Amino acid sequence: MNLREFTEYLVKSIATEPDMVKVQEFGGEDDSVVLEVLVHESDMGAIIGKQGKMAKSLRTLVQAYAYLHDNKRVKINIDSF
């Protein structure tokens, strides 16, 4: 399971409409990775959480996964469509 698949798995487990979740991976600067997470508009509240706690937790888990597998810095952008 790569970083994109792991992130998609986490977000789909939270979302009420998991079929609408899309995660794209882009190369960033300085050997970093940018993950673009797109969710349905109705799921934005659940994914971000109160005061951003769920989003912060997602970022922490994904960064830990990246550290254990390939030592890259990860930036996650969460957006809706």
Token digits for 73? Answer: 């810095």
Looking at residue 72, its pLDDT comes to 79
Q: What CATH number does residue 11 fall under?
A: 3.30.300.20
Q: What is the 3 state secondary structure string of 32-68?
A: EEEEEEEECHHHHHHHHCHHHHHHHHHHHHHHHHHHH
Looking at residue 43, its pLDDT comes to 95
Task: Please tell me the total count of domains within the chain.
Answer: 1
**Residue 9 in this model has a pLDDT that exceeds 80:** yes
Q: What is the pLDDT of residues 26-70, one digit of tens each?
A: 987 788 899 999 999 999 999 999 999 999 999 999 999 999 988
Q: Three-state DSSP class for 37? A: strand
Quote the CA–CA distance of 51 and 57 in Å, as a whole number. 12
Edge-to-edge strand order for the sheet containing 32-39?
22-27, 32-39, 73-80
Residue 12 domain boundaries: 3-80
Q: Is the pTM of this model over 0.85?
A: yes
